[in-house]
Amino acid sequence: MIMQVEIVVNGGVTLVLLPQNEMEERMLQELDRQDNSINLIRSSVMILNKTISNGLIISKKSVSITANNEPVVEASYPKEDEGKIKYEGSEETV
């Protein structure tokens, strides 16, 4: 069985991860302990030799995530930046 994902929309959006086994519980505990960054992926990103073009990545801040061979520094979409992904030194519309 794999971890269940629930999304709650009530005045905001909450992502809930529900572990299904002890290993998944330990992974969530580790995520809780480390300093994390959250990146919204809207263009091709290579992670462990896999190309991901749409998703959300929660990772330790020191982990390098790249898109188009550029490090992803921020990938948030506040209203004034909607439809843009920010890379170090540049901005690109997606």
Total Cβ atoms within 10 A of residue 38 = 12
Q: Cα–Cα distance between 6 and 15 in angstroms, integer?
A: 6
Bridge-based pairing state of the strands 4-9 and 55-60: unpaired
How far is Cα 54 from Cα 40, in angstroms, rounded to an integer? 8
> Do the beta carbons of residue 25 and residue 19 sit within 8 Å?
yes
Give per-residue pLDDT as tens, 13-52: 999 999 999 999 999 999 999 999 888 888 888 777 888 8
DSSP string spanning 52-71?
E-SEEEEEETTS--EETTEE
The pTM of the full predicted model, rounded to 2 decimals, is: 0.58
pLDDT confidence of residue 88: 44
